Amino acid sequence: MTKLPVIFKRELASYFATPLAYVFILIFLVLSGVFTFYLGGFFESGQASLAPFFNFHPWLYLFLVPAIAMRLWAEERKSGTIELLMTLPITRFDAVTGKFLAAWVFAGLALLLTFPMIITVNYLGEPDNGAIITGYIGSWLLAGAYLAIGSCMSALAKNQVIAFILTVSVCFLFIVSGFPMVLDGFSAWAPQWMIDAVASLSFLSRFDAISKGVIDLRDLLYFLTLIAAWLAATAVVIDLKKAD
Amino acid sequence: MIEITQLTKHFAQHTAVDNLSFSVKPGEVLGFLGPNGAGKSTTMKMLTGFLAPTSGSASILGFDIQKDTLKAQQQIGYLPEGAPCYGDMTVRSFLEFIAEIRGFKGVEKRARVTKAVTQVELETVLEQSIETLSKGFKRRVGLAQAILHDPKVLILDEPTDGLDPNQKHQVRKLIQSLAHDKIVIISTHILEEVSAVCTRAVVIAHGKLLADGTPLALESRSRYHQAVTLVAEEPLDKDALAALPGVAGVEENALEHSLSILAKPGEVIFAQVNALIAERGWKVRELNVERGRLDEVFRSLTRGESV
């Protein structure tokens, strides 16, 4: 019988056992408000849409999501509880996925608490609520991808700060891989298929499409595959590094 | 039954466990002895499935720890070194988490937690978060999680390390009360503990098995086995003592003003010594026959190996 729900429950509760959860949610809500209204020009755009809100999520998440992910495994290794966890009769899959899902649901919870945005934009005008829903789905998938990367980095580093920095760096690479400045570096020497491959790894183009209301199965698969791949890498890294 | 067959673990450059083989039967309390860094913890980590051995195998009640990991782990209650627990959880929520992992639900879960809590006397701190507890309590939380599912195999890595004498006594009592139908393996470097709770002692150093036997048999390997130690009010004739049949030598202990008369292997010299004391009319204040000194056996075994 799978013990995934037990791991999930403990992990989710542990977020709320410390001030971490509340601080994170507060900062997330404040920053997403600041980004939307000041930097995004929500009112100035004169459109009933949450695009100014979603546009900043890849950047907002770049620093906030690694902060949730950094403790996933680094803390277990530092405190030695990983030895307890790994000698209990649970599978690697249950442990890795249970922990990841708890972090993902927590991120989703923080995201749901931005619902006043939906109320505001519906009060002010007549937005495309379908696009708003896909925007939320896209944003949550994006958070999941960041978290899966963070899970692997957290397993790699015993120190949470290093895990944080590694996660930010890798996520940043995934964001900018679609940018001209990166692609230009490839275009001089690399064949076209490689440039396309690098560009297609980017979070931004996928996320933009979903947040504009276009749900393409390939984009969904992209995020889910990315999450699965990084979680598999987490399991491998844990086996290699757990005893260090 | 636990079977350990040619278990070996290499770390980068050094060999932590070197071709270790032995087996443990139900009812045995095995004391795993060795200096720090001897490979005790590494062996336990391999037995519980935390570390994969470089070569060799271990099976727990017939389940191979590498191939049938989950089934083997279900049989084991394990207290890792330092008793790590989730500090931000309360004692109750932590034990309930462990109970759920062990597959207990509802009434049974609560009953299991209550029983484990009673056994290690944690009632007073049940609602406190673990990080606020003293070392002794933390160790007991670790013990509670290990015995919660009434496992057939208990593996405890330094269960009394850092406890005060009362707590040590309590933990030993607990181990003895649990031991009768179980396999218990405890690692320790406290030798009195071996005589106090173990039915068998295994000594390792540098990952190799050096000795395996009952604590009594181990003691009898001591130079002091069957030695007579006495404290007299006057200087004694050491040459006369040394000349007695069966006596291997006489040692003076300046600190305690005592003399130890060592026996040759297999000899019992108490009667001869006693007769000489009566004949000379010596005033002897204290006299006892030693079983042997574990610490001395331990030292000679492990030091001979490490030099």
In chain B, how many domains are there? 2
Domain spans, chain A: 4-241
User: Nearest CA of chain A to the CA of B176: how many Å?
Assistant: 24
The answer to whether residues B262 and B184 belong to one domain is no
Q: Are strands B183-188 and B258-263 parallel, antiparallel or unpaired?
A: unpaired
The answer to whether residues B214 and B114 belong to one domain is yes
Q: Are A87 and B97 a contacting pair at CB < 8 A?
A: no
Q: Is the pLDDT of residue A8 over 90?
A: yes
Residue among B8, B26, B13 nearest B204 (CA)? B8
Give the CATH number, domain containing residue B238. 3.30.70.100
Determine the pLDDT at residue A147: 96
Q: Are B84 and A79 a contacting pair at CB < 8 A?
A: yes
- pLDDT range class, residue A126, cuts 50, 70, 90: confident
The answer to whether residues B195 and B235 belong to one domain is no
Find the domain containing B278 and state its range: 228-290
Determine the pLDDT at residue B118: 92
Residue among B117, B169, B161 nearest B141 (CA)? B117
Kindly list the strands in the beta sheet with B63-64, ordered across the sheet, starting from the edge strand earlier in the chain. Answer: B14-24, B2-11, B55-60, B63-64
- pLDDT range class, residue B304, cuts 50, 70, 90: low
- Chain A interface includes B93 (CB < 8 A): yes
Residue A69 · residue A154 · CB < 8 Å: yes
Q: Is the pLDDT of residue A242 over 80?
A: no
- Chain A interface includes B30 (CB < 8 A): no
Q: Is the pLDDT of residue B306 over 50?
A: no
Of all helices (H) and strands (E), which one includes residue B68?
none
**Number of other residues whose CB lies within 10 A of the CB of residue A185:** 12
Digit-coded pLDDT (tens) for B27-38? 899 999 888 888
The answer to whether residues B172 and B153 belong to one domain is yes
The answer to whether residues B78 and B193 belong to one domain is yes
Determine the pLDDT at residue B162: 75
The answer to whether residues B45 and B167 belong to one domain is yes
Q: Kindly list the residues from chain A whose CB atom is less than 8 angstroms away from the CB atom of residue B49.
A: 86-87
Task: For A3, name the nearest residue in chain B, comparing CA atoms only.
Answer: B101
Q: Are A88 and B101 a contacting pair at CB < 8 A?
A: yes
- pLDDT range class, residue B165, cuts 50, 70, 90: confident
Q: Confirm whether B31 is domain-assigned.
A: yes
Q: Are A6 and B97 a contacting pair at CB < 8 A?
A: yes
Q: Confirm whether B303 is domain-assigned.
A: no
The answer to whether residues B124 and B265 belong to one domain is no
In this structure, is the dihedral angle defined by the CA atoms of residues B256, B258, B262 and B267, taken in order, positive or negative? negative
Digit-coded pLDDT (tens) for A193-225? 888 877 778 888 888 888 887 888 888 899 999
DSSP state of A37: I
Q: Are A80 and B82 a contacting pair at CB < 8 A?
A: yes
The answer to whether residues B215 and B242 belong to one domain is no
Q: What percent of chain A has pLDDT over 70?
A: 99
The CA–CA distances, whole Å, from B281 to A211, B237, B244, B251, B257 equal 105, 12, 16, 21, 19
Determine the pLDDT at residue B305: 47
- Chain A interface includes B76 (CB < 8 A): yes
Q: Which residues neighbour A29 within 8 Å (Cβ) at sequence distance 6 or greater? A: A110, A113, A114
Ranked by mean pLDDT, which of A1-5, A183-187, A225-229, B255-259 comes out on top? A225-229
Give the CATH number, domain containing residue B56. 3.40.50.300
Smallest Cβ distance to A6: which of B88, B101, B145?
B101
The answer to whether residues B204 and B255 belong to one domain is no
Digit-coded pLDDT (tens) for A20-77? 889 999 999 999 888 888 887 777 777 777 888 888 888 999 999 999 999 999 999 9
The answer to whether residues B72 and B199 belong to one domain is yes
- pLDDT range class, residue B128, cuts 50, 70, 90: very high
Residue among A146, A81, A82, A79 nearest A108 (CA)? A146
The answer to whether residues B238 and B213 belong to one domain is no
DSSP state of B90: B
Q: Are strands B183-188 and B153-157 parallel, antiparallel or unpaired?
A: parallel
Q: Are B80 and A87 a contacting pair at CB < 8 A?
A: yes
The answer to whether residues B18 and B134 belong to one domain is yes
A134-162: average pLDDT: 93
Torsion of CA A214, A218, A220, A226, to 10 degrees: -140
Smallest Cβ distance to A17: which of B84, B89, B98?
B89
Tokens of B145: 């999680």
User: Nearest CA of chain B to the CA of A228: how many Å?
Assistant: 23
Residue B204 · residue B258 · CB < 8 Å: no
Q: Which residues neighbour A92 within 8 Å (Cβ) at sequence distance 6 or greater? A: A235, A238, A239
User: Which residues of B, range 163-202, sit inside 8 Å of A by Cβ?
Assistant: none
Digit-coded pLDDT (tens) for B67-98? 999 999 999 999 999 899 999 999 999 999 99
Smallest Cβ distance to A10: which of B48, B78, B97?
B97
d(CA A2, CA B156): 27
- Chain A interface includes B78 (CB < 8 A): yes
Determine the pLDDT at residue A1: 65
Digit-coded pLDDT (tens) for B188-221? 878 888 888 899 999 998 888 888 888 888 888 8
User: Nearest CA of chain B to the CA of A105: how many Å?
Assistant: 19
Q: Quote the radius of gyration of chain B (alpha carbons, Å).
A: 23
User: Nearest CA of chain B to the CA of A88: how many Å?
Assistant: 6
Smallest Cβ distance to A90: which of B45, B71, B101?
B101
d(CA B210, CA B195): 18
Determine the pLDDT at residue B307: 36
Determine the pLDDT at residue A201: 80
